[in-house]
Amino acid sequence: MPTKPKILVVDDEPVIADTLSMILNQSGFESRAVYSGEQAVQIACAFSPDMLVSDVIMAELNGVETAILMRTLLPRLKVLLFSGQAASADVLLEARTRGYEFELLAKPVHPKDLLNKLRNSSVDTADPPSPAADAEQTARPENWRNVAAASLSPEALETVSKEE
């Protein structure tokens, strides 16, 4: 029996995160909702999602910084961002200058559009190749702070450190 693709939904509006997660669970995915970038990073290694679906503009750790950190922890992670705010363009531009490119959907996201995008993204459900020992060590939850220090802007790193 094939495994369901795992999707982590992140939005600081719980109604949106919970609704998207419920739709995804009813549509053949295994989905969890969290309400901040910090929560997403904290459960990343335990849940090990195939894809991150996140709002861009959130308090503290924004969706782009969350995606960068999570992709560092989980290199095969696919990322789909969504936003209804014009400020997202500046955040995405900064990510591009740092070498990260993420797909963006405009809010409100219609469930059919989201499902089509996810199904067409080729979320890989096959077992990934065994990671190198150093990558496995880095992905352990107790070491995510080291990855954060190397991956995040100083402001975002300060935000993540405050959460503890």
- Domain extents in the chain: 6-162
In sequence order, what are the residues at sequence separation of 6 or more whose Cβ sits closer than 8 angstroms to the Cβ of residue 55? 10, 11, 12, 13, 16, 63, 81, 82, 83, 107
What mean pLDDT do residues 141-151 have?
48
112-127 pLDDT, tens digit per residue, is 888 888 888 755 433 3
Nearest-angstrom CA–CA distance, 67 and 19: 21
For residues 106 and 82, the answer to whether their CB atoms sit within 8 Å is yes
pLDDT greater than 60 at residue 160: no
**Average pLDDT of the residues of the chain:** 77
Half-sphere exposure of 12 (CA within 13 A, CB side): 15
pTM of the complete model beyond 0.85:
no
22-49 pLDDT, tens digit per residue, is 999 999 999 999 999 999 999 998 999 9
The SS3 of residue 154 is helix
The CATH code of the domain at 6-162 is 3.40.50.2300
